[in-house]
């Protein structure tokens, strides 16, 4: 009988100690009283009445969730494998516990289906070149659907887009063809500009009667300096006319 008061006192002390809970700065406790929502407590020291109250801890830090590789077919019927990473946090502890059974699992499953749904509406070129826009599209859809769970999706990043080896070769051929097309366009533009400059130069030379003759003589001088052989070239009659006028002028003087 002497041991009974001691055991009873020990039980009471254990119950009292179990009533005290310590929550870290980033933790909150969703407290239920007789099965009904009571309040959100924390951080710091809180008291939970054993037998009457129960609590669920909620982490308010940004959580990182790896989205497993998903098989999907793009809008242009290309089979690819895509994985991503999701960043989110709880902004409403009450809704995160009451409105969904397991917010971590629910958010992960929703992220997988949303990834397949959103990326399946785009072509392969967009998946490879416009990741930032696609990340934002996925984030907006997830953020809207998880709002009722008290979840805020802060960021979504597509990590890898894996495609078949045959498709890689096709993309390489397409890129090579595109480079060749651009090179031909640039070459054609250069030829067009050069032709335009030649037309302008010809118009400028034809405007002055002596300019063409001087240019002709300059060209002959350049040829002669490069070759140590005899050069036979036609002499324009217009140049002879110029020389005759020059002789007539000297005679008159």
DSSP 5-62: HHHHHHHHHHHHHHHEEEE-TTEEEEEEETTEEEEEE-SEEEE--TTTEEEEEEE-SP
Kindly tell me if the per-residue pLDDT of 57 is higher than 70: yes
Dist. CA 104–CA 101, nearest whole Å: 9
Higher pLDDT, 24 or 176: 24
Instruction: Say how many C-beta atoms besides its own lie within 10 A of residue 130's C-beta.
Output: 13
Kindly tell me if the per-residue pLDDT of 195 is higher than 60: yes
Q: pLDDT per residue over 63-73, tens digit each?
A: 999 999 999 88
The confidence band for 58, taking pLDDT boundaries of 50, 70 and 90, is very high
Higher pLDDT, 11 or 49: 49
Indicate yes or no: pTM above 0.75.
Answer: no
Q: What is the mean pLDDT of residues 83-103?
A: 95
Q: pLDDT per residue over 2-17, tens digit each?
A: 566 777 777 767 777 7
Q: What is the mean pLDDT of residues 201-214?
A: 62
Higher pLDDT, 121 or 166: 121
The confidence band for 124, taking pLDDT boundaries of 50, 70 and 90, is confident
Please name which of 162, 146, 133 lies closest in space to residue 102, comparing C-alpha atoms. 146
**Averaged pLDDT of the chain:** 82
Higher pLDDT, 91 or 208: 91
Q: pLDDT per residue over 166-190, tens digit each?
A: 666 666 666 677 777 887 888 888 8
Q: What is the pLDDT of residue 11?
A: 72
């Amino acid at each position: 009988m002497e041991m009974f008061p001691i055991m009873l006192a020990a039980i009471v002390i254990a119950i009292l100690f179990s009533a005290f809970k310590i929550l870290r700065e980033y933790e909150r406790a969703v407290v239920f009283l007789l099965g009904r929502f009571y309040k959100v407590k924390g951080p710091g020291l809180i008291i939970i009445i054993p037998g009457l109250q129960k609590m669920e801890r909620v982490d308010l830090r940004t959580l990182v969730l790896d989205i497993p590789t998903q098989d999907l077919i793009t809008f242009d019927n290309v089979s690819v494998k895509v994985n991503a990473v999701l960043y989110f946090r709880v902004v409403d502890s009450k809704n995160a516990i009451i409105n969904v059974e397991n917010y971590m699992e629910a958010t992960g499953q929703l992220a997988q289906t949303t990834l397949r749904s959103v990326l399946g509406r785009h072509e392969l070129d967009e998946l490879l070149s416009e990741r930032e826009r696609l990340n934002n599209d996925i984030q907006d859809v997830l953020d809207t659907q998880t709002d009722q769970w008290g979840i805020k999706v802060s960021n979504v990043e597509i990590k890898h887009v894996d495609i078949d080896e045959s498709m890689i070769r096709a993309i390489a051929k397409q890129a090579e063809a595109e480079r060749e097309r651009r090179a031909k366009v640039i070459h054609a533009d250069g030829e067009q500009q050069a032709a335009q400059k030649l037309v302008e130069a010809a118009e400028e030379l034809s405007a002055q009667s002596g300019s063409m003759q001087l240019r002709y003589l300059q060209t002959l001088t350049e040829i002669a300096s490069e070759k140590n052989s005899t050069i036979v070239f036609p002499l324009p009659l217009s140049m002879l006319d110029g020389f005759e006028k020059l002789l007539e002028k000297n005679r008159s003087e």
